[in-house]
Amino acid sequence: MGRIGTDESGKGDYFGPLVVAGVYIDETDEGYIKDLGVKDSKRLSDNRVKELAKAIKKEFTYSVVTIYPAKYNELWRKFKNLNKILAWGHARVIENILHKVVCSRAIADKFGNEKFIREALMKKGKKIHLEQRERGEEDLAVACASILARAGFLEGLEKISKTYNINLIKGSSEEVVKLAKKIITEYPSIPLTEIAKEHFIITKKIRA
């Protein structure tokens, strides 16, 4: 059955954007997708994610919404809730794809109460059967979306790094804390709101 799969990347990374992606596939696509070697992006190297993303974009209807830090921080101030930001992103990619294909089913990797996405959907999306799954990436449509989301995150992180001429890194480890501290002390002209998700506890740590 044809379906839209959605997933996100970057929600646990201090630096860089939050990216939500959606991909439409039907049952006739599954053999090709398996042959490509598609699986949950967390089980793939960055280079492989980028390669697969190109192949997926070439063959399938998709949508990628990249929420860069400045916009992310603005949405955080508005919603004060990550699940609502995620729902906004998932709803947008579903709606974008529904403008290109006819589809009655969507599967999202479960991140919170299903009502968040339902409430964020607009006219076309309200009619779709929405399913949120634990380990949603086991579905091939969601696995494809996870790859596009991860590729989009990596691209966004690289773009910000080039803009400010500093090598930003993934995650929220102690290495990230050290780098963030270095940035605010040695490069005060770089606005934190443009490179990082400010509500993370890391912000309090580096400003203590």
Q: What would the pLDDT profile of 21-43 be if each residue is shown by its tens digit?
A: 999 999 889 888 988 888 777 88
pLDDT digits (tens, 9 = 90+) for 105-161: 999 887 766 677 877 776 666 778 888 877 767 899 999 999 999 999 999 999 999
Q: Which domains does the chain have, with CATH numbers?
A: 3-161 (3.30.420.10)
Q: To the nearest 10°, report the CA torsion of 136, 16, 184, 80.
A: -60
pLDDT of residue 116: 78
Average pLDDT, whole number, for the chain?
91
Residue 55: exposed, middle, or buried by beta-carbon count in 10 A (0-12, 13-18, 19+)? middle
What's the pTM? 0.93
Beta strand 105-109 with 18-25 is unpaired
Among the listed residues 97, 112, 114, the one whose alpha carbon sits nearest the alpha carbon of residue 21: 97
pLDDT digits (tens, 9 = 90+) for 47-72: 999 999 999 999 999 999 999 999 99
CA distance readout (Å), 143 to 55, 74, 77, 201: 13, 29, 31, 30
The whole-angstrom separation of Cα 128 and Cα 98 is 9
pLDDT of residue 118: 76
pLDDT of residue 115: 76
Q: In which region does residue 197 sit, left (phi positive, over 0), alpha (psi from -120 to 50) or beta (all else)?
A: beta
